[in-house]
Amino acid sequence: TLESQVRLAQLLASGGAAAAGDSHAYYLANQRFHAVIVEAAGSRHIADAYAGVAKRLALYRIGRPAPRADLAASLGEHARIRD
């Protein structure tokens, strides 16, 4: 939807966390980015599957800050997804 596209664009525009190397802020924005996509899919099955994966990833990421280059690469991937 147009609303989803606008929300994704806003999240990408706030990519300063990646540039600053702020893993925690980027992780939170990343969660919101993916939540918008899952919500736009409108499928309870996809939402349930994503929730399980997100929970496992959160456990992995605790205490493991991502290198700035990884954050920048991720931000670029997200821009391509949005486009």
Per the model's pLDDT, the better-predicted residue between 56 and 81 turns out to be 56
pTM exceeds 0.75, yes or no: no
Residues in Cβ contact with 23 at an 8 Å cutoff, skipping those fewer than 6 apart: 65, 66, 71
Q: What is the pLDDT of residue 16?
A: 65
pLDDT tens digits, one per residue of 5-56: 777 777 666 666 666 667 777 788 888 888 888 999 999 999 999 999 998 8
Task: pLDDT band for 81, please (50, 70, 90 cuts).
Answer: confident
Describe the crossing of helices 44-61 and 23-41 by its angle, rounded to 10 degrees: 170
